Amino acid sequence: MKNKLNIKLPLTDFEKTNLKKSKVKIMDIFNYASDELEVILNSTPERAKEIYALAEFQTIPTIGLKFAEDLVFLGYYSFDELKNKDGAKLTDEYEQKKGYWIDPCVEDQFRLVVNFANTRDATKTWWDFTAERKQYRIEKGYPASRPKKAWHETIKTRKTASNRVDGQ
């Protein structure tokens, strides 16, 4: 499924200009291999791979740029890499790497992406996995190593620090 119309990419002005020069639209990115995108964008192989992944992950219904960036943050660049993964374990890994626990609905998104990678079922949305997540966490809980601080506490901390800097 490569027909989602609202794909957003964090392209630099330079990359946007290069796409325009090559007459390549965002939705056309899927027609190119990573090495071809590298030439079109005049970028590194890593950047071309990242851009393709960010676009591809957003083809899943209810998955946007932010969550696509989270998948890349964890080191995933394709659906094949996510096949047979476990949404709960991906959540645990993500929280460890971030250093705080996340909103539970993010786990639903991990579960959706794994389901899509395995089935290509585009009829599911992240909230279709809420009951499954809740049941799993009732039965298995969270790992003892789960960060103690919540995502919303880190936002408050960042805002407070920012206000102190701005107010000086």
Tens-place pLDDT, residues 47-70: 999 999 999 999 999 999 999 999
pLDDT digits (tens, 9 = 90+) for 75-125: 999 999 999 999 999 999 999 999 999 999 999 999 999 999 999 999 999
User: What pLDDT, on the 0 to 100 scale, is given for residue 106?
Assistant: 96
Contacts (Cβ under 8 Å, ≥6 apart) of 76: 53, 82
Tell me the two tokens of residue 149: 């601080």
Q: How confident is the model at residue 153 (pLDDT cuts 50, 70, 90)?
A: confident
Q: How confident is the model at residue 147 (pLDDT cuts 50, 70, 90)?
A: very high
Would you say 166 and 117 are in contact if contact means Cβ atoms under 8 Å apart? no
Q: Is 58 exposed, middle or buried (0-12, 13-18, 19+ CB in 10 A)?
A: buried
Distance CA 88, CA 128 (A): 15
Tell me the two tokens of residue 30: 């899927």
User: What pLDDT, on the 0 to 100 scale, is given for residue 3?
Assistant: 54
